[in-house]
Structure 1
Amino acid sequence: MDGRLANTWKLTVNEKKFIETALASNLRIDGRNPLEYRKITIKFGREDGSSEVQLGQTHVMGLVTGQLVQPYQDRQNEGTLSIFTEFSPMADPSFEPGRPGESAVELGRIVDRGLRESRAVDTESLCVLAGKLVWAIRIDLHILDNGGNLVDAANIAALGLSLNV
C-alpha cells in the first residue's frame, strides 16, 4: 500500500536514533515485541447493525443500513453494497472536517474491494424479487482514533457489520 493513508513525519535525529535503538533491541516503537500483536476488541451495539472495533489505539465505529430499491439494469439479480468512511478530526491532526478527503476515499475503496473480492457479501443473496426489488446495503465507518493498523481495523469493522445484517 502506498503512503497516502500513513502519516508522514519529518524525524529528528533523536527520533531516528530512538527507532534504530528499538530495532536493535527487538522492540517496536510502541514497546511491543516484534511478534506481539495489538489487542483487539470487537463489540456489537445494542441496536442491530452497529459495531465498534478497537485495534490497539485505533478505534473504528460502524453502522450498516439497508433499503429496498430497484436493481441496476445490468444486474437485475443483485443488490448493492456501498462503503463510506469518515475521519474524526480528533482521530489524527491531519484529518480535516467536511467533505471526505483523499485518505477517507482511499480507505473506503480498500475496504470495499476487500469485501467484494473475498465475496464476504454475496450480492445475489440481496435480491428480493429479480428485476424488481433488491437490498442496497450501506456501511458507514467512522474513524475515531488512528493509532496504526487503520486498514485492518476498518476491514474488521466492515466485515463484522456485513455478517450482522
Structure 2
Amino acid sequence: MSTRSGHAVNSSAEKRSPPLNAMGRKSQIYVNGVRQVGACVVIKPSTKQILVISSRKHPDKWVLPKGGWEDFEPTLEACAVRETWEEAGVKGDVKAELGKWKYEAGKEKEEVGVFEMEVRDEEKKWPEEKERERKWVSYDEALKLLNHRKWMNEAVARSSLSR
C-alpha cells in the first residue's frame, strides 16, 4: 500500500477516472526537480510469465509499462496502474512494491517506483494499442529483453517469479 501525504491509500487506481492519456509534463509531479514515474512488472502467475511492451521511441526494444505521475493521482501506485492500462491494455491487482530507482532520461532526472501487478484482465483494445506491441515472456526472456535498462532488470529480479 502506498502513501502520498502520510495516509494509506488503496491500490486500486480504478476508483478515480483519469483522462485516457497522460495530460503532459505540466501536470506531472516533480520532487526537487526529479520527475516521479510509476511502473509495473505485470505477471501471469498461472504461466509464470511477465508482460513486456514495445518502446514507442525504439520499437525494436522492449520495456515495462511506465509513465509520469499526474497531479490528479493520489499515489505513485495509482500512476503505475494507469500507465499499465494505457500502454499495455491490462488491469490487475498490485501485490507488492518492488523498489525505487533513480536514473537519467536524456536531460531529465527521473525516479521510478515499481510495483508488481498480477494480471486480472487483458483487453483487446486499449489507448496505445496502435503504438505498441505487447507480449508475455518467461522470467529469463524478460531479463534478456530488458537488459538495456538496468533498473528494469533489477525490478524483474525482485518480482515473485524470481523465487
Relative to the length of structure 1, the TM-score reads 0.23
Q: Quick one: higher RCO (CA 8 Å, sep 6+), 1 or 2?
A: 1
